[in-house]
Amino acid sequence: MKFDKILLSHGSGGRLSQDLIQDVFLKDFGNEILDELNDSAIFKTVDSRLSFTTDAYVVSPIFFSGGDIGRLSVCGTVNDLSMMGAKPLYLSASFIIEEGLQIDDLKAISRSMKQAADEAGVKIVCGDTKVVGKGMADKIFITTSGIGLIPDGIDISPQRICSGDSIIINGTIGEHGIAILSQREGLGFSSSLISDVAPLNHLVASMLDEAGNDIHALRDPTRGGLATTLNELADRSGLSIRIYEDRISIQDNVRGVCELLGFDPLYIANEGKLVAIVKNEAKDRVLACMRKHPLGINAAIIGEVVEKPEGLVCLITRIGGMRVVDMITGEQLPRIC
């Protein structure tokens, strides 16, 4: 590259845009579909159900302990597809870049996307780059969209949640949000707080192999945390979700920051966690299967679905009390993802 910073001209659609695409994105993402460089990517499908999703990523800071906005933008969309039981196949990547961004930073983000895409086994097949003037965006925003294939017969949906189902999570909660927050606030112990951002599709595939449609619903507790995700599931199913405080694991350093700053870890974002709502009879083999996977070692059954109170999430506290856990209302942590 002839420049060390992004210029407005890198977004013109002309020569400099092409240089940027060649020198940064194609070098990392190159594959037989993207390399065609047409207005859109072409791929073949057979008779099938496809899953389609999109997410914008505006995380600040763009580099954080355990990842960066690039890794997040790939994992987040891979995970959204996975939560429908889909096998993620193709991703698009759209960049809005502030004039003046260091090209080395963009290269690092691009490499990180490539690495996450490889981990997940997906291809980035189309993209777009726009540049806005200094002060008109904050460094870089990335929107990824994804297409996934839903295997024959698989039907994962909150509508399938039944009373008696078990609620399983694949590990500890709150790492992503607290890693971002502590970095942003310059807390001294931030280096030990590492985001959990990871692609969950392989874990989901092994769960579906093991239990198929005995897995009723899947969700990743991102923005708004576990509490918000469970509220959505309770709301969509018209049933009640009961969870037990003593079964929900939280890393000591995450708990420490939460106590220090007055946050409830139930509302903190995760980026490598999933909640599975599973037929009661299948819970033990799903749990055993999850624990065999590196991203499910700490999987635990944290609660169950009951009839009432309809649409609500209730937490049984350590001392045996019960409190209703509401959806997040304000914004605890803006730009967490």
Binding residues for a copy of itself restricted to 261-300, rule: CB under 8 A: none
Q: 183 to 242, contacts with a copy of itself by CB under 8 A?
A: 219-220, 222-224, 228, 236
127 contacts a copy of itself (rule: CB under 8 A): yes
DSSP character at residue 5? B
Task: Considering only the stretches 3-11, 170-178, 204-212, 248-256, report the one whose residues sit in contact with a copy of itself under the rule CB under 8 A.
Answer: 3-11
Q: Which is nearer to a copy of itself, 129 or 253 (CB)?
A: 129
Tokens for 126, please give them.
Answer: 């189309």
CB of 14 to a copy of itself, least distance (A): 3
> Which DSSP symbol is given to 238?
T
Contact 84, 132 (CB under 8 A): no
Q: Which one among 3, 22, 27, 45 touches a copy of itself, defined by CB under 8 A? A: 45
Q: Which of 180, 161, 148, 169 is nearest to 79 (CA)?
A: 148
10 Å CB burial of residue 232 (0-12, 13-18, 19+) is: middle
Q: Is 304 in the site for a copy of itself (CB under 8 A)?
A: no
Question: What is 91-105 written as a DSSP string?
Answer: EEEEEEEETT-BHHH
- CB of 330: closest distance to a copy of itself in angstroms? 5
| Spatial separation of the C-alpha atoms in residues 306 and 314, rounded to whole Å | 10
Residue 64 binding a copy of itself, by CB under 8 A: no
Which of 221/253 has CB closer to a copy of itself?
Answer: 221
- Give the total of residues touching a copy of itself (CB under 8 A): 84
Closer to a copy of itself at the Cβ: 128 or 192?
128
153 sits near a copy of itself (criterion: CB under 8 A):
no
User: What is the distance between the alpha carbons of residues 309 and 232, in angstroms, rounded to a whole number?
Assistant: 14
Cβ-Cβ contacts under 8 Å for 46 (sequence gap 6 or more): none
